[in-house]
Amino acid sequence: MSTRISLSRYLVEKQRVAGHIPAQLRLLLEVVARACKSISHAVNKGALGGVLGSAGSANVQGEVQKKLDIIANEVLIEANEWGGHLAAMASEEMDSIHIVPNRYPQGEYLLLFDPLDGSSNIDVNVSIGTIFSVLRKVGHTQGICEDDFLQPGKAQAAAGYCVYGPQTTLVLTLGDGVAMFTLDRETGSWVLTANHVQIPAETKEFAINMSNMRHWAPPVRRYIDECLAGKEGPRGRDFNMRWVASMVADVHRILARGGVFMYPWDKREPGKPGKLRLMYEANPMAFLIEQAGGLATNGRQRILDIVPTKLHERVSVVLGSKAEVKRITDYHLDAEAEKPATP
């Protein structure tokens, strides 16, 4: 019988054997995993737990909050604020950062999260998830402010997500590859089920909201038109489209079997670079994708190189199989090169 490796054992071995992570980071990730387990239980109860439907409020982005959005946010805050490994937290559901109260010891890490990604799918029983990113607190000053969070994605100490689907799966990177853990409901433990995950370099699947086609920039239209042309078109092969409307579910599929995910700029809000949030959606997903051998760009530059200017900054996202992301990025760069110079 093969030995089952738990998340705790995996992290302890990363700390002890590889010397890859400090104890504070190990403890932080274990707490996040426990919080995800609690959120999973709430999601699974659904209508039986009275957690479905709208909460009648809106978040900082102006999006209607579901009851489970608020529950998941509270679970993550309450689980993490007293452990002594965090200095502060930031969330999609909060206007500003949440500093660890003075009554608790302050640690050296910053935690950012989207407590429940894809929450529009909650009431229809489609996979949703939690996305998280861990940064180191820069400097040794006692105070903490929003500027401490404004670090590029390449500075992340760890990142991951938990997808609540037919199985509850935690996907994690510490900067040395991607590992997947499945929740064993009988024992309540996270069990390693895939290690050193790699995305195929090429793919025949793309994920994008096709209803927005008329609003896209020409490079995105060009790429999708070529895919839709199939064997008779310039790509010489047929493509399939997949769109769950839950970034966690779409990215999980890409990690499992390849593909490309796009949430591009569109002309309905020309002043905004994109819809997804850089700090707690695009950055952690880009970190995971790159660690699995893929690419992640905003159509022009590597997402992990972008230096944020505000906590809830938005960004265009193209991520997944390396060859396809490179092609889409090249189309954007080619289009910019063809623009006439401004006199």
Q: Which of 324, 329, 331, 332 is nearest to 199 (CA)?
A: 324
The Cα angle at residue 283 between residues 327 and 93, in degrees rounded to 5: 130
CA atoms within 13 A on the CB side of 312: 14
Confidence label for 181 from pLDDT (cuts 50, 70 and 90):
very high
Strands in 260-263's sheet, in edge-to-edge order, are 240-241, 205-207, 260-263, 317-320, 295-297
Q: What is the pLDDT of residues 213-265, one digit of tens each?
A: 999 999 999 999 999 999 999 999 999 999 999 999 999 999 999 999 999 99
Q: What is the pLDDT of residue 45?
A: 83
pLDDT for residue 273 is more than 80: yes
Strands in 128-136's sheet, in edge-to-edge order, are 98-99, 86-91, 109-117, 128-136, 158-164, 168-173, 178-184, 189-195
Percent of all residues in the chain with a pLDDT value above 70, rounded to a whole number = 93
DSSP structure class, residue 216: B
Domains of the chain plus CATH, in order, are 7-195 (3.30.540.10), 205-338 (3.40.190.80)
pLDDT for residue 53 is more than 70: no
The Cα–Cα gap between 66 and 58 comes to 9
Over residues 179-188, the mean pLDDT reads: 96
pLDDT for residue 159 is more than 80: yes
The Cα–Cα gap between 329 and 319 comes to 10
Identity at 199, one-letter amino acid code: I
Residue with tokens 């590889």: 18
Q: What is the pLDDT of residue 137?
A: 92
Confidence label for 122 from pLDDT (cuts 50, 70 and 90):
confident
| Residues 24 and 85 sit within 8 Å (Cβ to Cβ) | yes
Lowest mean pLDDT among 149-153, 266-270, 336-340: 336-340
Q: What is the pLDDT of residues 64-112, one digit of tens each?
A: 677 888 999 999 999 999 888 999 999 999 999 999 988 888 899 999 9
| Residues 192 and 4 sit within 8 Å (Cβ to Cβ) | yes
| Residues 284 and 325 sit within 8 Å (Cβ to Cβ) | no
The Cα angle at residue 315 between residues 313 and 318, in degrees rounded to 5: 155
The Cα–Cα gap between 105 and 210 comes to 48
DSSP structure class, residue 234: T
Virtual torsion, Cα 117, 119, 122, 127, nearest 10 deg: -30
What's the pTM? Answer: 0.94
Q: Of all helices (H) and strands (E), which one includes residue 45?
A: helix 23-45
Residue ranges with strand state E in the chain = 54-58, 64-66, 86-91, 98-99, 109-117, 128-136, 158-164, 168-173, 178-184, 189-195, 205-207, 240-241, 260-263, 276-277, 295-297, 314-315, 317-320
